[in-house]
């Protein structure tokens, strides 16, 4: 099975379209979506429509999806995020709001080797930035391979049966390959499609071939200027447009 792994799209249609076009050339069987379809970007309806058309085999909600669907308040958001999510809620169709509200909380078990979560296996809203938190998450995970999002940083944590941890972040390449070993557990963030925060403005996604246990992590260029123009035209905070160009 070849899984397409998507996370943190955040209403950025230009980035999503570029990723899907790139992924179609790689070929995949099913999609896994790790949450935060909306928030920040100016195309929430088009993004939700595209994900619905993709018909993922497994999809979970992110914190922005929850707030947009009025399942939770925006108190934890900064000012720019609050303005964006309020605009997003007002802009979404009733059908797409209903879709977001129905998304399940993570983690979700995909098969006997894979699970997905938005923040962490034990808390869908936790940010996994520190190594000690990643080690705890690896031990909390119920499957050998756990995909997560939320941080917008492409990274792989691998923990051997002997307790040795290896961490590998993103690099300047367009694609990285990693063979997954039966003797390790993996905590993998494919990176953000719509708003990367690792200093690389290119959209990020992953592809897992479970038959040969090979992971590929990609970076894809997209028309950032178009996404920025839409954010400005919508009257959303300027920082949400400017940050796309620097990947922060």
What is the domain partition of the chain in residue ranges?
A: 2-245
Band of pLDDT at residue 170, cut at 50, 70 and 90: confident
- What's the whole-number average pLDDT of the chain? 96
2-245: CATH topology is Purple Acid Phosphatase; chain A, domain 2 (3.60.21)
Report the percentage of the chain scoring pLDDT > 70.
100
pLDDT tens, residue by residue, 206-216: 999 999 999 99
Give the pLDDT confidence score for residue 46 in this predicted structure: 98
Q: Please give the backbone phi and psi of residue 24, each rounded to the nearest 5 degrees, phi first.
A: -65, -30
Under DSSP, is residue 163 helix (H, G, I), strand (E, B) or coil? coil
Give the pLDDT confidence score for residue 164 in this predicted structure: 87
Q: What are the start-end ranges of the H helices in the chain?
A: 13-26, 44-54, 63-68, 79-91, 94-102, 131-140, 224-233, 238-242
d(CA 101, CA 186) in angstroms, rounded, equals 29
Band of pLDDT at residue 232, cut at 50, 70 and 90: very high
Band of pLDDT at residue 69, cut at 50, 70 and 90: very high
Band of pLDDT at residue 7, cut at 50, 70 and 90: very high
The residue ranking higher by pLDDT, 164 or 95, is: 95
Q: How far is CA 151 from the centre of its chain?
A: 8
Band of pLDDT at residue 171, cut at 50, 70 and 90: confident
């Amino acid at each position: 099975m070849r899984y397409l792994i998507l996370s943190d799209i955040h209403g950025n249609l230009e980035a999503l379209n570029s990723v899907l076009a790139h992924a179609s050339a790689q070929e995949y069987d099913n999609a896994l979506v790790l949450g935060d379809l909306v928030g920040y970007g100016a195309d929430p309806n088009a993004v939700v429509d595209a994900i619905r058309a993709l018909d993922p085999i497994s999809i979970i909600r992110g914190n922005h999806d929850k707030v947009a669907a009025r399942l939770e308040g925006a108190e934890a958001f900064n000012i720019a995020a609050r303005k964006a999510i309020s605009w997003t809620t007002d802009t979404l169709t009733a059908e797409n709001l209903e879709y977001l509200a129905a998304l399940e909380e993570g983690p979700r078990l995909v098969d006997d080797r894979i699970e997905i979560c938005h923040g962490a296996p034990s808390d869908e809203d936790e940010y996994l930035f520190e190594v000690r938190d990643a080690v705890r998450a690896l031990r909390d995970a119920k499957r050998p391979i756990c995909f997560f999002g939320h941080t917008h940083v492409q990274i792989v944590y691998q923990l051997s049966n002997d307790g040795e941890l290896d961490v590998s972040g993103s690099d300047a390449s367009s694609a990285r390959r990693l063979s997954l070993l039966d003797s390790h557990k993996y905590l993998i963030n494919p990176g953000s499609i719509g708003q990367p925060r690792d200093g690389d403005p290119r959209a990020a996604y992953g592809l897992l071939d479970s038959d040969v246990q090979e992971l590929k992590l990609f970076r894809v260029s997209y028309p950032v200027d178009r996404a920025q123009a839409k954010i400005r035209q919508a009257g959303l905070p300027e920082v949400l447009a400017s940050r796309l160009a620097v990947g922060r």
